[in-house]
Amino acid sequence: MVVTVVSWCSPGVRVSPSKSVNTDSVLIKFLITVVAFVVFLTKLQLISYLAGVAAQTTPSAADAGTQMELVLHSGGGLLVLLVPAAMSVYKPRGMTRHGQRKQ
């Protein structure tokens, strides 16, 4: 999340017609990261509960549903955070408007 915030606040990101796609993608990546972080914070109490149970005893069959919920949420969170990473790597084909003017 820190990398996304730093890249969003960096002076290289300016709002202008030629940079609107870049600015929009940075804002989208930032919002995706914030939503994933909020979901993580909502699950933090459940994670603490299961950590306490695991530290004291062997988790029972009654905790299996809770464990499965955490596995699904962590897998989903990983997939959600791969989207901003893919957006950072993917670059559209062709030349930008700036590159076309310079040619």
CB 13 within 8 A of CB 23: yes
**CA–CA distance, 60 with 38 (Å, rounded to integer):** 29
Query: Does residue 97 sit within a domain?
Result: no
Q: Is residue 59 part of a domain?
A: yes
Residue 98 domain-assigned (yes or no):
no
Q: Name the one residue in this structure whose structure tokens are 């994670």.
A: 47
- The answer as to whether 69 is a domain residue is yes
Query: pTM of the full predicted structure?
Result: 0.60
pLDDT at 35: 92
**101 within domain boundaries:** no
Provide the pLDDT for residue 67.
85
pLDDT at 21: 53
Reduce the DSSP state of residue 16 to 3 states and report it: coil
Q: Is residue 96 part of a domain?
A: no
DSSP annotation of 50 reads: H
Number of domains in the chain: 1
* Residue 62 forms part of a structural domain: yes
Secondary structure in 3-state letters for the chain = CHHHHHHHHCCCCCCCHHHHHHHHHHHHHHHHHHHHHHHHHHHHHHHHHHHHHHHHCCCCHHHHHHHHHHHHHHHHHHHHHHHHHHHHHCCCCCCCHHHHHHC
Q: Which domain holds residue 62?
A: 2-88
pLDDT of 34 reads 93
Q: Is residue 103 part of a domain?
A: no
Q: Please, what are the averages of pLDDT over each run of 10 residues along the chain (103 residues)?
A: 50 48 78 91 88 83 82 89 86 75 78
